[in-house]
Structure formats: structure tokens, C-alpha cells
Structure 1
């Protein structure tokens, strides 16, 4: 058993899988979670690095799912949390079912907040711990045809900034926000966005690179990191571009039927 323990959510594929790989390589025992059976195969892969690996299948859009994850930790001290689990949803808001958009809000916002609310007090009490929350540059852009998702990421980006300030006296606890742009993962397929320009764009970021950016920033105790120089430029432009213009630009990327 290693002397450091990490929880990584959404670890079956994509950024979460790569973050878990980095944690295991860095000597962390890890507890990985996803809402699909594939997390067990991912866990088997992580074991090659020689640390203890536990996996749990749980729906982190529910309080019960987060509680199930925490119960699997068995009361062990949690040194690091990567709150990566997230869900997207394409198409127009009025065309989405309540159940579908509620799942996005509950996964990206409620589940993330509840996980932090349960794990941070012990870190603050001992003034030691690291948290990585995966936000998005989508939080800076009104997301036409992806409105709920972008709204949840705006919440996450803002919330982590505020929480970081609230906990500034606990200088041994760091909260890092990773903000990637579009990444080559199953995200767009699961969000029903493979008929869009952004969903079929072959130039999306590699999750290996995004995870490495996030991990390096986390280890350095940085407040936030925008992954990729193009995304850094996009965020800078978003601060000075009118919201209506940003929304129209997003429409061209995310409106159904815009795929090349």
C-alpha cells in the first residue's frame, strides 16, 4: 500500500483515464469510478504501475452514487481528488428532455460539489491535500445548441475560483481548475453531437496532453490551467467579445447538421 491515495472520477476513458494513469505512475494508490462497467477494464490497466487500484461503478449524478464512491475508500485518508466526471448534451434546449438536461446539471454541478463538500473538510483540517476540477473553456462561451453544458462549466469555473478564495488560509490545500477545449474523447458521441462541426473536427486536443497539463498544474499547486495555446487565445478573446457574437460563433460549431 502506498502512502498516498487518490480518487479519480470519470476514469474509464478520456481525460479521466489519462489522469488515473498519471496518478498510478506517480505512486498513488487510486480509487477510480465511472458510470459504466468499462471502469473495471480501465482499473486492470492501471494495475501495471504497481500501486493498489480499486474501481467502482457508480452514477455520480446522484448523492447515492457519490456516497457509494466514498464508501469504497474505506475511511482511508484522501490525499488527492480529480473531479473529472462530466456529461455533455447537444441540440437545442427546447428539444431536450428534462431527464437529459437534468442529468447534465446533476453530474457536472451537483455531483462535483457534493464530492468536494465531503472530501475537502478533512484536507482543510490537516492543511494538506490536492484537488483538480475539470472545468472547460466552454464556461466562457454562451453555448448555443449546447447551452446547459456550457452553463454548467461556467458554474464550475466560477465556483472553483470562489472556493479557492474561501480556503486561502489553508495554504496546504490546493484547488486547480483544468480548462480544456474540445478533446478527442467519447464525449461528443455520448452528447449526440456527431452531426456537428465541433463533434467531427479532426483537430481536437489529445486527452493525453490535456491530462498532462492538468496534472502538472495540480502538482505545482496552480490555480488554473487552460490546456492548449489555441484555447488560451480563445479564452482571451472571449473576455472582450460580445456575448451575442460568441453565441453565434458557437452556433456554427454546435448546431445539428453542421458537420463537414
Structure 2
């Protein structure tokens, strides 16, 4: 049992929802957030049915806008919620050659994956450092380590998450703060990601993937243990090892093959 509160973005489905299940199992108070129109209420009801007594608070927020992250923070303030754990899970991608993909969608990817994550981290980390307690889980990816043709913008945003979070980990250590930050780097996972990214027909989209349950469980345990980085599956560990063994040009070639349509 715990009296702590966790805020999870992207909580309506996929890894975010499975992380919510991990926290609900241990009776954290859940603040669930996702874009307006997402099935947040349905997600909250599922959690309440599965875990008796769990408290859920639903706060929709459009993180693809400049105002969205700030409004989410201000709403937690208005409700008097102390966020003990922040999970920056929200994110999406787009597949295809950069010269052919939609610029507006890619600007939204940068807003959600980079600017919203950075803003929420800034706002909640300040409070955590003042209290000298708290934890943050940042959703990176195995492509944080790999150049990824046909998914260039998404991979670049995940490289930002890795670099940004590792720099903050060093700052927290330098301050001798008790606040911890963990970077979760999953491989391709069986979520709605590939449909939203228009990548269902790619080789990786058609391949066997990690389950959101195993990814979330690994991230949850690593977060509570204060680990700096979590590679939750053997496939994730293999991707990371490849990034150290092979040149960027070879890695880009390999990743490009994975992102091509299966029929090719």
C-alpha cells in the first residue's frame, strides 16, 4: 500500500496503460492523462475493476500544443495533487521517406515527444528537487541509439530523450539529490504505434514484437530501483549492443531494411 501519486501521460493504451496497471497493483493513486478523445475513462474503469480500491483521476491534455503540458501541470496544482512519480510515456511516430511524409504530423511528433516531455520534466522536477524526493520515467526507445531511415524524425526525438535524460541524471547526482530519473528503452512493441505511424506493412511492423506487459514490468521495476536505464527485453539489449559494435552507416542500412514494406 502506498499514499503516493503517479502521473502517467499516454495512459489510455499500450505501454502507458500497462504501466498504470503496475502502479495500480501496488495501490498508487493514478493520475491518467492522454489526448482529448482517447479512451481515458474506459482505461480508468478497467483499472478500477481489476484493482479494488485504486483511486484514478483523469486529466485529458493535448501535448501536441505549447499550452497542453503547462495546462496539465496547472490542473494537478489546482487539484492539490503532489506528483511523486512522473511517467512521460506519451509519444508517436511516422514512417516513410522524409521528403514524402507529412510536415504537420512530424511537428506534432516533436511537440509531444520532445517539447511536452521537456516541459513536464522541468515543471515537476523542480518540485521534486525542492522536496528532495521523487522519480521520473522517460520513454526512450532502442532507436535512441540508432539512426533510423524512414522514421527519421521519431528516432531523432528519442535520441533527444536519451541525451536530455542522461544529462539530467548527471545534474541530479551532482546536486546529491534523492530524485531519480530512469530511461526506458523498449524495442518494437505490440501497441497501436505502428498503425498511427503508418508502418503496419513494414518488415518490423509485421515481425514478432515485445508485449507491452513485459516492457512495462521492466520499466516499473527499474524505476522503483532507481536504475538509470532499462533495456526490458533481450531484443532491446541486442539493439543496444549493435549500436556499440557497428558503424552508424551500417546500422542505418540495417534499420532501413526493417522499415521497408514487407512486399519489398
Structure 1 and Structure 2 fold alike (TM over 0.5): yes
Please report the RMSD computed on the Cα atoms of aligned residues, expressed in angstroms. Answer: 1.5
Structure 1 residues 37 and 245, CA, compared in 2 at 3 Å: closer, same or farther?
A: same
* 2:236 counterpart of 1:235: no
* 2:33 counterpart of 1:33: yes
Residues 24-82 of structure 1 show CA distances to partners (whole Å, capped at 9, x for unaligned) of 11121111111133111101112232122011222112232112322332232110011
* 2:188 counterpart of 1:185: no
Structure 1 residues 122 and 259, CA, compared in 2 at 3 Å: closer, same or farther?
A: farther
TM-score (structure 2 length as normaliser): 0.94
Look up the SS of the partner of 2:33 in the other structure: strand
Aligned pair partner of 1:258 in 249, 255, 262: 262
**Where in structure 1 are there 5+ consecutive unaligned residues?**
none
Matched residues in 2 for 1:64 and 1:39: separation?
A: 20
Matched residues in 1 for 2:142 and 2:182: separation?
A: 14
Structure 1 residues 188 and 259, CA, compared in 2 at 3 Å: closer, same or farther?
A: farther
Structure 1 position 2, deviation (Å): 6.1
Structure 1 position 137, deviation (Å): 0.8
**Where in structure 2 are there 5+ consecutive unaligned residues?**
none
Are the counterparts in 1 of residues 64 and 108 from structure 2 also a CA contact under 8 Å?
yes
Residues 111-143 of structure 1 show CA distances to partners (whole Å, capped at 9, x for unaligned) of 000000110111001110011001001111111
Structure 1 position 259, deviation (Å): 4.9
1:191-206 → structure 2 map (5 Å cutoff): 191-201=197-207, 203-206=208-211
Residue equivalent to 1:9? 9
Matched residues in 2 for 1:176 and 1:60: separation?
A: 21
Residue equivalent to 1:45? 46
Count of residue pairs brought into register by the alignment: 258
* 2:245 counterpart of 1:244: no
Residue equivalent to 1:106? 111
Matched residues in 2 for 1:206 and 1:170: separation?
A: 36
Residues 69-98 of structure 1 show CA distances to partners (whole Å, capped at 9, x for unaligned) of 223322321100111001111001111122
TM-score (structure 1 length as normaliser): 0.95
* 2:135 counterpart of 1:134: no
Structure 1 residues 247 and 192, CA, compared in 2 at 3 Å: closer, same or farther?
A: same
Look up the SS of the partner of 1:95 in the other structure: coil
Are the counterparts in 2 of residues 142 and 246 from structure 1 also a CA contact under 8 Å?
yes
Matched residues in 1 for 2:72 and 2:145: separation?
A: 31
* 2:148 counterpart of 1:147: no
Are the counterparts in 2 of residues 252 and 258 from structure 1 also a CA contact under 8 Å?
no
Look up the SS of the partner of 2:57 in the other structure: strand
